[in-house]
Amino acid sequence: MEASFSRRKLVTPAELKDLNARSNLWGAGQMVSHLGAIVFAGYLHSLALGTGWMWLTGFGLGVLLNFLYAAQHELSHATVFSTRKVNEVFGRLIGFTMIFPRDYDQVMHFAHHTYTQNWEKDGELVREPYTLTTYLLWMSGITYWRNRVFGVIRRSRGIIIEPFIRAEEEGKVIWESRIHILFYILIVGISVMFHSWAAMAFWIIPMLLTKPVHQLQNTIEHLGLSHEDNILENTRSTRTNALMRWLCWQMPYHTAHHVFPSVPFWKLRILNAKIEAQAGTVHRMGWIEFQIEVIKCLVAKDESRWPQNEVWVVAVAGGRVRVLAE
State residue 138 phi and psi, 5-degree precision: -70, -45
The answer, yes or no, to whether residue 102 has pLDDT greater than 70, is yes
Q: Is 299 exposed, middle or buried (0-12, 13-18, 19+ CB in 10 A)?
A: exposed
Q: Residues 229, 1: contact at Cβ < 8 Å?
A: yes
**Rounded distance between C-alpha atoms, residue 270 and residue 130, angstroms:** 34
pLDDT for 319: 65
Return all residues near 301 (Cβ < 8 A) that are at least 6 apart. Answer: none
Domain borders along the chain are: 7-305
**Rounded distance between C-alpha atoms, residue 127 and residue 131, angstroms:** 12
Return all residues near 67 (Cβ < 8 A) that are at least 6 apart. Answer: 34, 214, 217, 247, 248, 249
Mean pLDDT of 257-270: 97
Mean pLDDT of 142-164: 97
The answer, yes or no, to whether residue 323 has pLDDT greater than 50, is no
* pTM (predicted TM-score): 0.93
The answer, yes or no, to whether residue 106 has pLDDT greater than 60, is yes
Tens digit of each residue's pLDDT (9 = 90 or more) over 161-174: 999 999 999 999 99
The answer, yes or no, to whether residue 321 has pLDDT greater than 80, is no
**Rounded distance between C-alpha atoms, residue 324 and residue 309, angstroms:** 17
The answer, yes or no, to whether residue 322 has pLDDT greater than 80, is no
pLDDT for 253: 98
Tens digit of each residue's pLDDT (9 = 90 or more) over 5-50: 677 789 999 999 999 999 999 999 999 999 999 999 999 999 999 9
Q: Residues 117, 125: contact at Cβ < 8 Å?
A: yes
Task: Write the secondary structure of 113-132 as one string of H (helix), E (strand) and C (coil).
Answer: HHCCCCCCCCCCCCCCCCCH
Nearest by Cα to 253 from 149, 266, 262: 266
Average pLDDT of the residues of the chain: 94
**Rounded distance between C-alpha atoms, residue 175 and residue 152, angstroms:** 10
